[in-house]
Amino acid sequence: MKRLKIKALLGTLAAVCVLGLSGCGQTTEAPAGSTTEGTTESVSVSSQESSEESSEQSSKESTEQSTEASRTQESSTEASSAEETKESSSATTNNVVEIGKYTVKLFDIPENEGTNFVKELKVGWNLGNTFEAFDCTWLSNEMDYESAWVGAKTTPELIDELKAAGFQTIRIPVSWHNHLSDKENYIISEQWLDRVNEVIDYCIDRDMYVILNIHHDNSEQYFYPSKAYMDRSEKYISSIWTQLANRFKDYDHHLLMEAMNEPRLVGHANEWWIDKTNADCQDAFACINRLNQLFVDTVRATGGYNATRYLLCPGYDAAAEGALLEEYVLPTDPVDNDHHIIVAVHAYTPYSFALDYPGTDTWSSDNQKNKSEVVTFMNNLYKKYVAEGTPVLIDEFGSRNKNYNTESRVDLAGFFVANAKARGMSCLWWDNNVVNGDGECFGIIDRRTAKWTFPEIKDALIQYTAW
């Protein structure tokens, strides 16, 4: 979340809006630019990162708040809320299932390779604030970036514990621009890539799925979704993904690749707030489509397992709103695959509870408004994509610790994953190893000891996807 990702997610609104989600890069479900990643990562271990994240978060949060307010006024949101009220009252019909404390409506999920594959991912976890740490100018050794924000190196014991707990998928966010041996041609440092490969193998060797991406490289120096920077952006995306695809072409489908993290207009007034009437936003939508297509074409061209590998492509900010825009175009797969392109979404919803600070520290599945904020954006994604056979993966979500409001966080975690699964979507919790404080505290397991700091949240994530 750093966070350039900006957790600011449209959050609550995103669900309601079908317009455009967040800002480019670290936002998830909140306004167009509010992403979780940006926020989470910003809660870094170093004071320098903390202040950086803080300012980034405040601007994102205020943007998201305004976006959220406008969205809540939309009729589409009201319709979704009404629909959810109707759905939750039909617990005695044949199309609902009782899962622990929740009554969940079941949706028809088209059968194809893509939707079946997303089911196999079950529930996952993000190795946040680790390989995506960036611009750590106080470091002299690039290999120290891995622990610069999180304070610990990744161990096999950590992955063992995640596997034993029931997590099936690990997302490994990686920033590459501080690890280039040839900056002009964007050639990745061999020792950095070797270490990323080693941690990927920790997961693959334990029969887990892994998502590899380009994370905090969204800048005018590397890739930036604006026509003014498209030549450089296409060179960067093509070079990085050509190297990664060739490196991992012999890895089977346990490895997924994700084009970009929360692509957005970093530094722009609409970084985290989508405005369809804004010419720069319209330009960014088109550029993101081009970069997603270039990513797919580049990976497919390397052959091996990459010819059929599952690939994730986000919309603006990776927000639900960004993927729901009519301007968002799913890439064409040059190979005759059966739905192997997955829509990637980040969702820190409802924003006021999950990401905003101070926001609110309470959420209850007994509250109809609280529930509708979650199911609205899920219903919209289901209707546009899953119902039509296109797989969707929510590969960042979560709620921050606000003075140990654990009961509400557990309730949201269980309700969230159960309802996503009912609509054919799997979810990955964002974990930045930050447990308490006034920053983005999404950590639920201690990286140094591999002991659970919030076992209740872990249990809810596993329990409510194990049906």
Catalytic machinery residues: 215, 262, 396
Task: Measure the CA–CA gap between 428 and 286, rounded to whole angstroms.
Answer: 27
Q: Is 351 left (phi over 0), alpha (psi -120 to 50) or beta?
A: alpha
Number of H helices, E strands in the chain: 15, 12
In sequence order, the 6+-apart residues with CB closer than 8 A to the CB of 355 are 7, 8, 9, 11, 30, 34, 36, 39, 61, 64, 348, 399, 400, 440
Q: What is the DSSP letter of 273?
A: S
Helix (H) / strand (E) containing 181? strand 180-182
Q: What is the DSSP letter of 366?
A: T
User: Which residue type is seen at 424?
Assistant: G
In sequence order, the 6+-apart residues with CB closer than 8 A to the CB of 6 are 22, 23, 25, 26, 27, 33, 34, 35, 36, 37, 38, 39, 42, 56, 57, 60, 262, 271, 272, 317
Cβ contact 213:171 at 8 Å: yes
Three-state secondary-structure class, residue 172: strand
Task: Measure the CA–CA gap between 150 and 128, rounded to whole angstroms.
Answer: 8
Instruction: Choose among 62, 26, 58: nearest CA to 41.
Output: 26
What phi, psi does 351 have (nearest 5°)? -55, -45
Q: For the CA atoms of 300, 303, 305, 310, what is the dihedral angle to 10 degrees?
A: 0
Task: Measure the CA–CA gap between 101 and 65, rounded to whole angstroms.
Answer: 31
- Give the number of other CB atoms < 10 A from CB of residue 46: 15
Q: Is 18 left (phi over 0), alpha (psi -120 to 50) or beta?
A: alpha
Interior angle at CA 442, CA 436 and CA 444, nearest 5: 85
